[in-house]
């Protein structure tokens, strides 16, 4: 891993060539676009936004060619992901603060979702149409399976239920994947450059209290006043707290084999029961933004020498 990173950072041409190849393969439905995204994050973190922007231009070429041919596909999503990755990595490169990046992500994401609801009046109807269309084929296959033929809810019924939260949930998974890839890119950078503080930085990611207040307000509006846009925005606003919650549990479970087993169980829970585990991790991070569990004597004192927010 270290040698590969050193090879990619030795010359921009090497990194651009591999990222471009991944973008081309994405056109042919070989889903390796995440490799290009992580390499883009690595280069931007280490060499700055200009080098990252040059790589982004090359990654975009296959999708631009298809766009000229009016052929929309997976490559268009790859461009969107890479644009966000470049923005996130540039901000982290400039401000060296995960707390700032996550707080800004929360604020901008919530504002954009609210704007979408205000200026796209038929947003929910559009989601109903798209979700129903995508689920119809899957639903037929499920009904043909004896084990699942008792499923009563139809795609249209599910779409009616999911549409009010679809913008926030979709944004959650898109940006959440990118933030996890950014964490991997940052870890890769620290390993390649032999920089200290790898564990300290990545296990001390915290949200600040201002973001916690925003989430609390959205929660009140969604639950008490039943405002649809607040519920949709809340689905996204939980994301940065989920990332901070992952960092917190890595801080707690990092010392022995039993702790590794706990982490494995948590990640298994995220796969099989994502709603429950994401909610629990977000709640822990929300409380941590006020209580700072990492600096409590009951947890340990090994991180007291540094800042409480990264």
Looking at per-residue pLDDT, the higher value among 32 and 308 belongs to 32
pLDDT for 256: 66
Final residue of a domain: which of 69, 95, 121? Answer: 95
Whether 106 and 168 have beta carbons less than 8 Å apart is answered as no
Same domain, yes or no: 205 and 286 = yes
Arithmetic mean of pLDDT over the chain: 85
Query: Which tens digits make up the pLDDT trace of 214-226?
Result: 888 888 888 788 8
Same domain, yes or no: 181 and 61 = no
* Lowest mean pLDDT, pick from 19-33, 108-122, 131-145, 197-211: 131-145
pTM value?
0.87
Final residue of a domain: which of 30, 64, 95? Answer: 95
Same domain, yes or no: 45 and 155 = no
pLDDT for 223: 79
Using pLDDT thresholds of 50, 70 and 90, give the confidence band for residue 70.
low
Same domain, yes or no: 36 and 67 = yes
User: How much is the average pLDDT of 135-159?
Assistant: 68
Q: In three state form, how does the secondary structure of the chain look? A: CHHHHHHHHHCHHHHHHHHHHHHHHHHCCCCCHHHHHHHHHHHHHHHCHHHHHHHHHHHHHHHHHHHHCCCCCHHHHHHHHHHHHHHHHHHHHHHCCHHHHHHHHHHHHHHHHHHHHHHCCCHHHHHHHHHHHHHHHHHHHHHCCCCCCCCCCCHHHHHHHHHHHHHHHHHHHHHHHHHHHHHHHHHHHHHHCCCCCHHHHHCCCCCCHHHHHHHHHHHHHHHCCCCHHHHHHHHHHHHHHHHHHHHHHHHHCCCCHHHHHHHHHHHHHHHHCHHHHHHHHHHHHHHHHHHCHHHCCCCCCCCCCCCCCC
User: How much is the average pLDDT of 279-303?
Assistant: 76
pLDDT for 196: 64
Whether 235 and 127 have beta carbons less than 8 Å apart is answered as no
Looking at the chain, the whole-number percentage of residues with pLDDT higher than 90 is 46
* Lowest mean pLDDT, pick from 68-82, 181-195, 227-241: 68-82
User: How much is the average pLDDT of 185-195?
Assistant: 87
- Tell me the residue range of the domain where 263 lies: 108-310
Let me know if residue 236 belongs to a domain: yes
233 has pLDDT over 60: yes
Same domain, yes or no: 125 and 234 = yes
Let me know if residue 218 belongs to a domain: yes
Same domain, yes or no: 152 and 298 = yes
301 has pLDDT over 70: no
Scored b (16 or more CB within 10 A) or e, 261-276 reads eeeeebeeebeeeeee
User: How much is the average pLDDT of 86-98?
Assistant: 94
């Amino acid at each position: 891993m270290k040698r590969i990173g050193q090879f990619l950072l030795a010359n921009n041409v090497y990194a651009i060539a591999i990222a471009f190849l991944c973008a081309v393969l994405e056109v042919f439905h070989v889903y390796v676009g995440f490799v290009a995204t992580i390499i883009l994050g690595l280069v931007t973190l280490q060499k700055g936004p200009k080098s990252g922007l040059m790589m982004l231009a090359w990654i975009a070429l296959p999708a631009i060619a298809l766009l000229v041919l009016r052929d929309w596909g997976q490559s268009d999503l790859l461009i969107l992901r890479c644009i966000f990755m470049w923005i996130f990595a540039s901000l982290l490169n400039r401000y060296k603060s995960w707390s700032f990046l996550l707080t800004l992500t929360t604020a901008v994401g919530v504002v954009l979702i609210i704007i979408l609801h205000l200026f796209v009046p038929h947003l929910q109807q559009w989601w109903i149409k798209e979700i129903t269309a995508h689920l119809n084929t899957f639903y037929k296959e499920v009904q043909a399976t004896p084990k699942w033929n008792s499923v009563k809810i139809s795609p249209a019924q599910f779409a009616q239920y999911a549409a009010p939260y679809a913008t926030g949930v979709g944004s959650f998974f898109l940006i959440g994947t990118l933030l996890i890839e950014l964490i991997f890119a940052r870890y890769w950078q620290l390993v390649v450059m032999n920089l200290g503080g790898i564990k300290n930085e990545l296990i001390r990611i915290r949200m600040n209290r201002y973001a916690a207040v925003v989430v609390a307000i959205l929660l009140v509006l969604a639950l008490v006043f039943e405002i649809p846009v607040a519920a949709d925005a809340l689905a996204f606003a939980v994301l940065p707290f989920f990332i901070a919650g992952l960092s917190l549990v890595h801080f707690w479970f990092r010392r022995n084999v039993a702790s590794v087993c706990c982490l494995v169980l948590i990640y298994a829970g995220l796969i099989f029961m994502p709603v429950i585990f994401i909610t629990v991790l977000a709640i822990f991070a929300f409380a941590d933004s006020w209580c700072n569990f990492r600096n409590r004597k009951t947890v340990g004192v090994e991180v007291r020498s540094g800042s409480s927010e990264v």
